[in-house]
Amino acid sequence: MSGESGQTRIAARFRGFLPVAVDVETGGFNANTDALLEIAAVMIDMTPAGELRPGANFRYHVQPFHGSRIDPASLAVNGIDPHHPLRPAMPEKEALTQLFREIRKAVRDSGCTRAVLVGHNASFDLGFLNAAVARADIKRNPFHPFSSFDTATLGGVALGQTVLARAVTAAGLEWNSDSAHSAIYDAERTAALFCTICNRFRFMYEEALERAPALADAEQERESAGGD
């Protein structure tokens, strides 16, 4: 692997998946009825030395879909005014189309076959993403429909903390409470937490490759053949 770039090697690290940290801000907790108001994504890169790090980031303000529910309690937490005249919001389909275009390019450039969502309590973010994809009738979704990496789980295992702010702090990273609940800030902190934990567990991955190289080769062959 010494002659491979970091972005080529990341394809081997995660079975052909490219991790992308995602955070959504919403009008409630029900993905089918409550508005998606903001979505942000941070690419995960790999250095030539094999270390993971947060990469390019993208953020979109989203117009509430017709008939969507917006709970004032949710707006009190995320500080979003969905109807502010200066808010640069776009329809769900436009926002997702632009985001997915960037992610598909990153997937191609990294030699991966698909993106996989990294989220803090990832099922929440993935649920809202999938619901918006269905509403907008988007056919080319780069994300795996149900697989994800959950930093709440990783934080609990590695650091004993499942709350994002506490896990980030326990990992020795910076946390700014005033910036929390902004989709781009939370996505960036989630990406940094994911990279930090993965980098610290890198020795386990390398031991696994030595212990079962045939398994790793079989997985790569299966991915190349289009398996899942």
Give the percent of the chain with pLDDT over 70.
Answer: 90
d(CA 32, CA 130): 10
The pTM assigned to this predicted structure is 0.90
pLDDT at 221 over 70: no
Residue 115 pairs in a beta bridge with: 18, 143
Q: Which residue has the higher pLDDT, 13 or 7?
A: 13
Overall average pLDDT of the 32-58 stretch = 97
Q: Where are the beta strands (DSSP E) in the chain?
A: 17-26, 36-46, 52-62, 89-90, 114-119, 143-150
Name all domains of the chain by residue range, CATH numbers in brackets.
Answer: 6-224 (3.30.420.10)
pLDDT at 47 over 60: yes
How does DSSP assign 126-184, residue by residue?
A: HHHHHHHHHHHT-S---EEEEEEEEHHHHHHHHHS--SHHHHHHHTT----GGGTT-HH
List strands edge to edge, sheet with 52-62: 89-90, 52-62, 36-46, 17-26, 114-119, 143-150
- Residue 115 has, within 13 A of its CA and on its CB side, a CA count of 27
> Is 66 a known active-site residue?
no
Do 46 and 82 contact (CB within 8 A), yes or no?
no
Do 150 and 119 contact (CB within 8 A), yes or no?
yes
d(CA 173, CA 63): 33
Overall average pLDDT of the 141-169 stretch = 98
Q: What is the pLDDT of residues 100-113, one digit of tens each?
A: 999 999 999 999 99
State the average pLDDT for the chain.
92
- The active-site residue out of 66, 83, 120, 181 is 181
pLDDT at 154 over 70: yes
Do 116 and 149 contact (CB within 8 A), yes or no?
yes
Q: What is the pLDDT of residues 161-196, one digit of tens each?
A: 999 999 999 999 999 999 999 999 999 999 999 999
Q: How confident is the model at residue 219 (pLDDT cuts 50, 70, 90)?
A: low
d(CA 52, CA 158): 17
